[in-house]
Amino acid sequence: MSSIDAIYRGQTALIVGAARSGIAAAGFLLERGARVILTDAKSEDVLAPSLAPLRAFAPASGELICELGGHRAETFRSCDFVVVSPGVPLSLPLFEESRRAGIPILAEVELASRHLRGRILGITGSNGKTTTTTLVTELLSGAGLRAFAAGNIGSPLISFVAASRPDDLYVTELSSFQLESIVTFRPLVGAILNLTPDHLDRYRDFAAYISAKERIFLNQTSDDFGVLNEDDPRTAALSGVIPSAPVLFSRRKEVARGAFVRAGRLIFRDDHGETDLFAAAEIRLKGGHNLENVLASCAIALLAGAAPGSLAGTIRGFAGVEHRLEWVAELGGVQYFNDSKATNVDATIKSLEAFPGNILLIAGGRDKGGDFVPLRPLVAERVKHLILIGEAAGKIRDALSDLVETSESSSMEEAVALAGRSASPGDVVLLAPACASFDMFQNYEHRGRVFKDVVHGLGRK
């Protein structure tokens, strides 16, 4: 029996939420002989396909009990510890049962970090996390290092524990939800890319959301690094208070320590002096926000041990990430772009800033408690037709329809078809919803795939 197995054998673990990270945590604990209770508000019919592998595996390892279609208060106060999925708010009243009983409530990344060999590079922020996580992983791999993308980007961190090695680097995309439930989690590099209002349907106010993000630095020491956006006042203000060594990035000015742009070239400055990395013109990604993502990525990769000379080749070949300002097609002289990952207002602002004008914008979905008024200047300046979908269509219409021709559509197919009929050569049809996707789609990836399928269908016609 391994030392990890000895910790969990005979323990009762309550997994709250049967999504990707919950399933992965359950598998990890079952393999180590734990008694796992998996609870989810969704029904057996909905969850059966994702639970089937766990049920097949359980008889040869630990014990699996599924409590589906709702939660039982007794379970929350009769386990040894709780692992909470990111999609489950800690404000759920049943968690008070665990707290009163003195039962620890852990994030899946917390559980993973206690047993993972290798070093963690944690990346959070309101926007740009996935692009930055992907790029850092590619920069490190291009430098000959063992690097893996983990967390919200795809594979849960817990899934890497068994095969992990001391020289591994785990580039981990972290949401504020995951950071709420860390206890000892400590990344070598913790990065906050930016802070703008988001998830206000889950947090009482913007300050509470920021506090959750700041927890990425909770257990760091002066031997670790905190990467912060000097151009974002809220993140820049943290440089004097975090326990780790601050490393800044800026596309607008030079920084004392970190990554910046000078005369069209990216520079990294540290205690050893300055290193010229490559020309900004070599970056293939559109938009000023993506220049920030590249600066942050280079800083993180260098802090993790990448050789400076190895970065340029990876940058030249990096075309971006699916659903993040992704070029889809050109039809009749009209360019179609998929930015389904723009799930908040600030992300949509950055998307609009990437184009000079003549935009037919498809927006809407499930409102996350955001204010759509900040979109007004760019909509007035650059959008020629606003096409709204989803539950938030009325709220967005009230905020913006006096500025631009506005239509509403009942489906993505209808919205894309309307955009295609209304567009002229030289225009851009842009999906940048400023909302969550769950009213009409499984997630933002599903929304983006549907958009692309409909656009390609127009092309075939």
Residues 6+ apart with CB under 8 A from 215: 179, 180, 182
Cα(380)–Cα(327) distance, integer angstroms: 23
Length of the chain: 461
Burial of 374 (0-12, 13-18, 19+ CB in 10 A): middle
Residue environment code for 258-282, b if the CB has 16+ CB neighbours within 10 A, otherwise e: bbbbeeeebbbbbeeeebebbebeb
Cα(418)–Cα(421) distance, integer angstroms: 5
Q: Would residue 289 show up in a list of annotated catalytic residues for this protein? A: no
Cα(289)–Cα(277) distance, integer angstroms: 19
Rounded to a whole number of angstroms, the CA Rg of the chain reads: 23
Q: Would residue 344 show up in a list of annotated catalytic residues for this protein? A: no
Residue of 71, 115, 199, 289 marked catalytic: 199
Q: Would residue 385 show up in a list of annotated catalytic residues for this protein? A: no
Residue of 129, 213, 385, 452 marked catalytic: 129
Bridge-based pairing of strands 81-84 and 12-16 is parallel
At what angle are helices 345-353 and 288-303 packed, to 10 degrees? Answer: 110
Q: In sequence order, what E strands does 236-322 have? A: 245-250, 258-262, 265-270, 273-279
Residue of 71, 115, 127, 152 marked catalytic: 152
Cα(109)–Cα(85) distance, integer angstroms: 10
- Residues annotated as catalytic are 129, 152, 199
